[in-house]
Structure 1
Amino acid sequence: MSDDTSLQIPFPHRRSPHGPYAAELHRAWLTRHPLLPDPTHPSYAHWDVVALAALGYPDAGQDELTLAADLMGFYFLFDDQFDGPLGRRPAEVAPICERLIAILHGAARPDRSSAVETAFADLWNRSAHGMPARWQARAAYNWEWYLASHPAEAAGRISERPPDRDGYLALRRGTAAMETIFDMVERLGHFEVPAAVLHHPVLRQIRQLAADIPSLSNDVRSFPLEAPRGDVNNLVLIVQRERHCSAEEACAVVMAEAQLMVERCRELYEQLPDVHRELGLSRVERSIAQRYADGLVTWLAGYLDWEARTGRYLAA
């Protein structure tokens, strides 16, 4: 996608200095959990998932950034296994996801576990370690939502009923995994957001916008790859159908919508000091609430910078 379709983001992006450290340990993790035949495969290296972690969580410590890098790798490699024929067989996708969901709820893994299962169990154990029960319950629910969305995505590829906007959003918000990514803002920062702040309408809107904007941008960048293989849960296709327009015009419409969402996110972000005051937060609570909100918009800015540079979408 050319630069003239890039979003204008009012939030700065920063990069963690611990990328080289995390990259070395991430290669070792891929060796222990062989989600790839070769952890040094040039194609995977060109995606630069460690850079995404470093841009998304720039304040994370060395070990925390390594966990983030391993998570980024898992998301992409787990999703990509469904790009081929398996992704058109929902009855086979569902048991794969159910076994991972069972791990979230304490099920013992069988002796002959797949690499996906051992990798996910490792990530979940490391993520949950030391976190309060309330965070773990929320994170487990969000992981379940992400995992359980894949059978529906597979069913969509063989369905004769393409989704409308509401159906698109319901599924995209699951498969995008953004709620799990935002849970890690707390985990990697070693804090927990007060419930009154986490569920306040202003912060909920910021979180939803920060989740949806990357999905729209990603739909545009990945459309040339997804359309030929029958992926229907892409907003570009929906806009084409709504407006009876070309793919190029639909991409422009989607990016314009995303830019409006960016502006709304900025407006809401600027309201946060008033929200904190109205809630009567203590100085410590305000600091934690602001760290979380900053984490959301930092991820947004960092992801969009990475997306414009990664080799993952160059084939498009």
Structure 2
Amino acid sequence: MGRAEWDQIWPSDTSRRLLPYLRNVHDEEIQESLRSWLHESGMLAAHPQTVDRHVQDFAAYTSYSYPGAPRDGLLLAAKWMTFFFLFDNELDDQPVASIPAETRSLLCDLDKIVSLGTKTQPEPDTWNSPYAQVLDHLWKEAREFYCNPAWERLFVNLFARYQRAQRWELYSKSLGRQWDFTTYTEWKRHGTAGLLGGSFVALFTRRPLPDELLQGHVLRRMSDMACDVLHLATDINSAAREARFEGVPSVLTTLLHNGADITRDEAFRIFLTHLWQPRLNSLLQAAQDLPHLLDAMGQNTPQNLSDAENFTEDLLLWTGGHLQWLTYAARYHHESETT
């Protein structure tokens, strides 16, 4: 993707950007702890030379995503985001047929690890994956550290959808399936872990959100909009990275497959003017209409409005921060065997 294309998504002229962004002041503070944890995790045992680059990249991502998080909360969020990025690599950076048995087993058992109440034990093969051990520890640590039952209920629900979307994507890649745009967007929204990352926004608001708001229609739809803005933009930025094996289905391949002999430039124009920009506009409109939307749902009490406004402010920062990070992220701008 050329600079001119990305500039239409996230202009280099900052006065033309429609979303705010900030960077957490604890960014550099968490990097040493994140580096030690990543070395010990075993997730990069085969590529230890990439640890420093990943630490800088993912610490920056987390800092742009949650600019108001306290240091320890930011560090734990950074561990989660690192897990999601590296597990994505594990599934994308090799042919589907070459994915290790323990990784396939983990993909079937994800919901047995991230769950509430009595757990069904994962298969023995699952625990051979370092990702399984990391996930098990992160889930326990998050529940103890954040102490937010409403977030836990939301996270478990979103995580089950993430698991199903990942399995759908592996099937699609293995057979070269290209789906229509609506189907693609629906499973991509969950398969990117974007909604899971977006759920962390609720952990750093000024006051914990009640279930009726956190899982209510208004904030869920706004979170969907924000996630679509991000995963569609990420598709444009990661097209070269994700075309090395079967090719990860993307918004451009979806449009090219379903279009009538359109070129890649024409597909990008359709993406920008008919898909991405309208989705961003809808998010900004929903933020502006927030009191009226809560009214329509029968939820517009003074406390609910204050809580929803705080969440929305942080959700927009999360969205803008992600786009700012995408502009420079080594993950998408570094020529390497393992990205």
Q: Same fold (TM over 0.5)?
A: yes
Kindly indicate whether the alpha-carbon contact (under 8 Å) linking 2:239 and 2:250 is maintained by their aligned counterparts in 1: yes
How many residue pairs were aligned?
316
Kindly indicate whether the alpha-carbon contact (under 8 Å) linking 1:46 and 1:311 is maintained by their aligned counterparts in 2: no
CA-CA distance at 1:15 after TM superposition: 0.6
Cα–Cα, structure 1 residues 187 and 113, in superposed 2: closer, same or farther, change >3 Å? farther
* 1:273 paired to 2:291: yes
User: Match of 1:6?
Assistant: 9
* 1:163 paired to 2:182: no
User: Match of 1:122?
Assistant: 137
User: Match of 2:68?
Assistant: 59
User: Match of 1:254?
Assistant: 271
For residues 235 and 250 of structure 1, the distance between their equivalents in structure 2, rounded to whole angstroms, comes to 9
User: Match of 2:33?
Assistant: 25
Kindly indicate whether the alpha-carbon contact (under 8 Å) linking 1:33 and 1:115 is maintained by their aligned counterparts in 2: yes
User: Match of 2:13?
Assistant: none
Kindly indicate whether the alpha-carbon contact (under 8 Å) linking 2:111 and 2:160 is maintained by their aligned counterparts in 1: yes
Cα–Cα, structure 1 residues 46 and 62, in superposed 2: closer, same or farther, change >3 Å? closer
| Paired-residue identity, % | 22
Measured against aligned partners, the alpha-carbon deviations of 1:78-131 in whole angstroms (never above 9, x if no partner) come to: 010122445346895542212332112335576964311121112212222253
* 1:72 paired to 2:89: no
* 1:226 paired to 2:242: yes
CA-CA distance at 1:47 after TM superposition: 6.3
CA RMSD of aligned residues (A): 2.8
**Comparing 13-22 with 143-152, which one deviates more in the overlay?**
143-152
User: Match of 1:48?
Assistant: 57
For residues 202 and 266 of structure 2, the distance between their equivalents in structure 1, rounded to whole angstroms, comes to 39
CA-CA distance at 1:138 after TM superposition: 2.1
User: Match of 1:150?
Assistant: 166
For residues 78 and 301 of structure 2, the distance between their equivalents in structure 1, rounded to whole angstroms, comes to 34
For residues 121 and 20 of structure 1, the distance between their equivalents in structure 2, rounded to whole angstroms, comes to 26
CA-CA distance at 1:282 after TM superposition: 4.4
For residues 194 and 50 of structure 2, the distance between their equivalents in structure 1, rounded to whole angstroms, comes to 26
Kindly indicate whether the alpha-carbon contact (under 8 Å) linking 2:34 and 2:75 is maintained by their aligned counterparts in 1: yes
SS at match of 1:63: helix
Kindly indicate whether the alpha-carbon contact (under 8 Å) linking 1:220 and 1:254 is maintained by their aligned counterparts in 2: no
For residues 126 and 191 of structure 1, the distance between their equivalents in structure 2, rounded to whole angstroms, comes to 21
Kindly indicate whether the alpha-carbon contact (under 8 Å) linking 2:61 and 2:325 is maintained by their aligned counterparts in 1: yes
User: Match of 1:101?
Assistant: 111
**Comparing 86-95 with 111-120, which one deviates more in the overlay?**
86-95
Structure 2, unpaired ranges of 5+: 11-15
Structure 1, unpaired ranges of 5+: none
**Comparing 99-108 with 273-282, which one deviates more in the overlay?**
273-282
Cα–Cα, structure 1 residues 40 and 296, in superposed 2: closer, same or farther, change >3 Å? farther
**Comparing 169-178 with 72-81, which one deviates more in the overlay?**
169-178
Kindly indicate whether the alpha-carbon contact (under 8 Å) linking 2:31 and 2:56 is maintained by their aligned counterparts in 1: no
Structure-2-length-normalised TM-score: 0.83
